[in-house]
Chain A
Amino acid sequence: MSGPVGAGGGPQPPPRPADNGPAMAPGPAPLLEIADLRVTFATEEGVARAVDGVDLVVRSGETVGLVGESGCGKSVTALAVLRLVEHPGHIAHGSRVRFEGRDLLALAERDIRAVRGNHLGLIFQEPASALNPVLTIGSQIAEVIRAHQHATRSEARWRAIEMLRAVGIPDAEKRAGHYPHQLSGGMRQRALIAIALACRPHLLIADEPTTALDVTIQAEILELLDGLQRSLGMAVLLITHNLGLVAERTRRVYVMYGGQIVEEAPTDALFAAPAHPYTRGLMAAVPRLDSPRERLAAIPGQVPPATAWPPACRFHPRCPLAFERCTTEMPPLLAAGEARKARCWLANSRTVGRADERTDAPTQAGLREPGGQGS
């Protein structure tokens, strides 16, 4: 009801998780807490376990990354949080999604609608198609405001214009009367952000917010999101396949593969020394400006279909380090150093050693070297 809460009411972010000790259970009550989330899709090839036991926590004000290849279950996770998984999809019993202390999966339809777009915003990746082409930008923003808050038509319209100004759209009064096709891609994404933030959410889930945009516009949009996040004190769950973005913008990261979280770590620590072979493979596949030109490493093989995950460790058919145990027994998320976990039998034995061994291990795509080497 009140304005942004729990954010510490200012630009001062909560202590970095790295100094914060174990990042899991203790600390302030998490804003969003996903526990054992499972989403299945009944397909002709069988049951696709798109999301298979995901645990994830976002605290007030923090920015968390969720990375993985296409088809790993990132977006479905986001949709499931808002209970937007559609028909052939099904959120399994036993899944839990707590947001601001309420179990979203148990809410009545009317109550979950009151959460969507209000305290919990979602930005989609295609600004071109996420806006209704036959409604003006202004009316699409005003609509959300009127759906969630008591506002007259003219109040809502006025606030919509304010919002357009806040996301840096020049000539907002005029733009409010424009249709999506009259705006550029970057403008549309700004408009979408304006819609998502119109009710000042406490958590914003941004699903590939910049993938469809030019690189220069990407940077602008991300700066904008950063600024808004600080001024509104909201938390952001940034879903992306772009490791550079994760390195720059997040404090903690979850890496997803095969519908599961395979690694979770403070961002710095993750990039210093990935604990899961999949994460390492992902990083090796990022081109770097500061190293001699050579063939990019690729992870051999393909992501298997969600209807036929490999038994035991889902990554083992593609893993260079796989041994017998990986083919017979699914590793749990094992502690892999301070505040981090990895779903790998070698999680403990390898983290430090590998990072030392591979001095060329990719770091934050051309950014500063993190100070602490070992984690």
Chain B
Amino acid sequence: MSPWRRAWSRFRGNRFALAAAVVVAALALAALAAPALAPADPLAQPDPVGLQNLPPSAEFPLGTDRFSRDVMSRLLYGARVSLGIGAVAALLAVTIGAGVGLAAGLASPLVDQALMRGVDVALALPRVFLILLVLALWEGAPAGAVVALIAATGWFQTSRVVRALALRLREAEFVQAARALGAGRGHLVLRHFLPHLAPAVVVSATLDVGNIILLESGLSYLGLGVKPPAPSWGNMILEGKDQILTAPWVALAPGLALLVTVLAFNLAGDGLRDAFDPRAAR
């Protein structure tokens, strides 16, 4: 049985992880199919006076907000934004982190030290404030810039993990053996390093998605992430907070969605970690 299949069978045995994975998959599908699923246009304001802050009903499953927009539709489209930013930024961050970590782990000690001290410095910077500063100064920053910022400040931990693994792999006897058989550096990295790094990177990426969604929502809540009227879960909570007592559904819906999503990603990530852990009990 291949290591991947073994991990899968272990993952399958973990109820929480499996449920989390199902939730993640459902969320991803919902986000992808938002145009088909959404009952209404997320930006349309059919009647800002007559249909304002309606409670959930058959017509508006999650009610309407104060501009009479359908909360359900906004939630679905918001999922695209939140999950999209989370996935893209996490992928970017993990790629950079794995690249830097691998480079540090394979390079001469001098380069390694230089890279890792750089990472130490970067880790000492307060990430959120750094992002806030840039976004505050850069008015009207596009979503791409937000993604880039999050990715650029989110790869440090991954690089450390990957470097540590690479250093260990370098000493591994099977890597020595491969070198003794004439394997070049490229071959070593592709065939012998990557398959062993992949689990750590996948776990890292999964946990990152959850954290980044949370971070992006925080930024949007502060009005610095995704700008209204485009819906994101963060700015939906922001818009709903003033009516939290009169029309709680407006803020609660995205809030709960956020909670469930982040929880699902974290549980799935933990489940993956356990599934890949060679020491985990069978």
Question: B-contacting residues of A (Cβ < 8 Å)?
Answer: 82, 84, 86-87, 110, 113-118, 121-122, 124, 126, 129-136, 143-144, 147-148, 179, 182, 192, 195-196
Q: B3 near A129 (CB under 8 angstroms)?
A: no
Q: Which residues of A contact B173 (CB under 8 A)?
A: 124, 126, 129-130
B130 sits at the interface (CB 8 A)? no
Task: Tell me which of B2, B170, B178, B182 contacts A132 (CB under 8 A).
Answer: B178
The count of chain B contact residues (Cβ–Cβ below 8 Å) is 23
Q: B182 near A118 (CB under 8 angstroms)?
A: yes
B1 sits at the interface (CB 8 A)? yes
Q: A117 near B109 (CB under 8 angstroms)?
A: no
Report how far A241 CA is from B182 CA in the complex, Å.
27
Task: Tell me which of A86, A113, A132 contacts B174 (CB under 8 A).
Answer: A132
Q: B2 near A144 (CB under 8 angstroms)?
A: no
Task: Tell me which of B1, B170, B183, B196 contacts A179 (CB under 8 A).
Answer: B1
Report how far A143 CA is from B181 CA in the complex, Å.
9
Q: A144 near B181 (CB under 8 angstroms)?
A: yes
Nearest-CB distance from B75 to chain A (Å)?
41
Top 3 A-B residue pairs of the complex, sorted by shortest distance between their CB atoms: A117-B181, A116-B182, A129-B173
Q: A115 near B182 (CB under 8 angstroms)?
A: yes
Given the interface pairs A129-B174, A143-B191, the reply to whether A116 lies near B181 with Cβ below 8 Å is yes
Q: A130 near B177 (CB under 8 angstroms)?
A: yes
B172 sits at the interface (CB 8 A)? yes
Chief secondary structure at chain B's binding surface: helix
B117 sits at the interface (CB 8 A)? no
B243 sits at the interface (CB 8 A)? no
Residue of B nearest to A88 (CB): B109
Q: A131 near B174 (CB under 8 angstroms)?
A: yes
Q: Which residues of A contact B109 (CB under 8 A)?
A: 87
Q: Which residues of B contact A133 (CB under 8 A)?
A: 3, 174
Can you show 11 pairs from A to B with CB atoms below 8 A apart? A82-B180, A84-B179, A87-B109, A113-B184, A114-B182, A118-B182, A122-B177, A122-B180, A124-B173, A131-B174, A132-B191
Residue of A nearest to B4 (CB): A134
Report how far A143 CA is from B183 CA in the complex, Å.
9
B192 sits at the interface (CB 8 A)? yes
Report how far A164 CA is from B163 CA in the complex, Å.
35
Nearest-CB distance from A50 to chain B (Å)?
16
Residue of A nearest to B194 (CB): A134
Given the interface pairs A129-B172, A131-B174, A132-B174, the reply to whether A116 lies near B196 with Cβ below 8 Å is no
Q: Which residues of B contact A121 (CB under 8 A)?
A: 181
Q: Which residues of B contact A132 (CB under 8 A)?
A: 174, 178, 191-192, 195
Given the interface pairs A129-B173, A129-B174, A143-B191, the reply to whether A134 lies near B182 with Cβ below 8 Å is no
Nearest-CB distance from B171 to chain A (Å)?
8
Q: A113 near B180 (CB under 8 angstroms)?
A: no
Report how far A141 CA is from B187 CA in the complex, Å.
14
Interface residues of B in 1-34 (CB under 8 A from A): 1-3
Q: Which residues of B contact A179 (CB under 8 A)?
A: 1-3
Q: Which residues of B contact A144 (CB under 8 A)?
A: 181-182
Q: A124 near B182 (CB under 8 angstroms)?
A: no
B176 sits at the interface (CB 8 A)? yes
Nearest-CB distance from A85 to chain B (Å)?
11
Report how far A148 CA is from B1 CA in the complex, Å.
29
Q: B180 near A117 (CB under 8 angstroms)?
A: yes
Interface residues of B in 150-197 (CB under 8 A from A): 170, 172-174, 176-184, 187, 191-192, 195-196
Report how far A321 CA is from B184 CA in the complex, Å.
50
Q: A124 near B176 (CB under 8 angstroms)?
A: yes
Report how far A113 CA is from B184 CA in the complex, Å.
7
Report how far A66 CA is from B193 CA in the complex, Å.
33
Q: Which residues of B contact A82 (CB under 8 A)?
A: 180
Q: B177 near A134 (CB under 8 angstroms)?
A: no
